[in-house]
Amino acid sequence: MSQPKVALESTVISHGLPYPANLELARRMEETVRAAGAAPATIGILSGELIAGLSDDQIVHLATAQEVRKVSRRDLPIVVARKLDGATTVATTMWIAQRFGIEVFATGGIGGVHRGAGSNPSSDISADLQELAQTPVIVVCAGAKAILDLPATLEYLETHGVTVVGYQTDSFPAFYSRSSHLAVDARCESAAEVAAIWRAKRELGLPGGLLVANPIPLADEIPAEAIEPAILQAVEEAATSGLRSAEVTPFLLARLAELTGEKSIRANIALLLNNARVAGEIAVALGS
């Protein structure tokens, strides 16, 4: 029987941390998945080829190359046709993972509904949410990024039939913080419980993915009251600068790193590794 696999995204390599921290994190995430008993499959696009399981040399390339496109679902045909290098977002990693038969994916935090989108006719909503509604992959995350409108994000997921499971928590995590005080649909204490819900979803023939919300480890948490003032400042600066769509999230995350003295970066790394561990355990439970 083949070893169960866990998909890992590549935007964290090419568009996350600077080199060599990005390369170190990519390797640590793969090591964490292996330690849980599963096989890592870091997903990326090289010269237009979709790859589910980058080699170490290929990961080094994405960590150091200058011309790597951040690829969402809409960008896939462009990158493939033009034989470009691409790093995959949550949405694209999900799509490629299911294409290669991988059912579990570990990321940091999903995208969602941006703050103020409800009052904006353009409604800035991440493609991650629609992908969760239609692509059958278990996504392990630390909730949605705290820079987003979390109640609106959960409302969108509910409307589109996406089950949100709290991993050893009753509350939807707020990325840097362990709780948003927003309820999840169900609490699971173990990987086996998550696997059972996933099997039931498949047997019922329901479309889409399963979102497993796994809180950041307690020792690495930035309490909501400590991070929220920095988030509000960064969001206001983004609005003043006229940033829109894909420009917003990278700006906000980089600005938070500056405003928190890089505490947010350390928290981000901790939650990524924690999600890789839990995803590995879920993949093993599914394979048993």
Active site residues: 9, 145
Q: What is the distance between the alpha carbons of residues 164 and 211, in angstroms, rounded to a whole number?
A: 5
Which residues share a beta bridge with 186? 165
* Helix, strand and coil in the chain, % to nearest 5: 50, 20, 35
Cβ of 100: how many Cβ atoms within 10 Å?
A: 14
Q: What is the distance between the alpha carbons of residues 96 and 171, in angstroms, rounded to a whole number?
A: 30
Sequence-ordered list of residues with C-beta below 8 angstroms from that of 43, at least 6 positions apart, any chain: 7, 8, 9, 10, 50, 51, 52, 53, 54, 88, 92, 93, 96, 97
Q: What is the distance between the alpha carbons of residues 183 and 181, in angstroms, rounded to a whole number?
A: 6
Cα pseudo-dihedral 181, 151, 136, 195, rounded to 10: 10
Q: What is the distance between the alpha carbons of residues 52 and 43, in angstroms, rounded to a whole number?
A: 5
Token digits of residue 20: 């060599």
Work out whether the CA dihedral 111, 112, 114, 120 comes out positive or negative.
positive
Residues 223 and 177: beta-carbon distance below 8 Å: yes
Distances in Å between the Cα of 185 and the Cα atoms of 113, 154, 166, 167, 170 are: 19, 10, 8, 11, 8
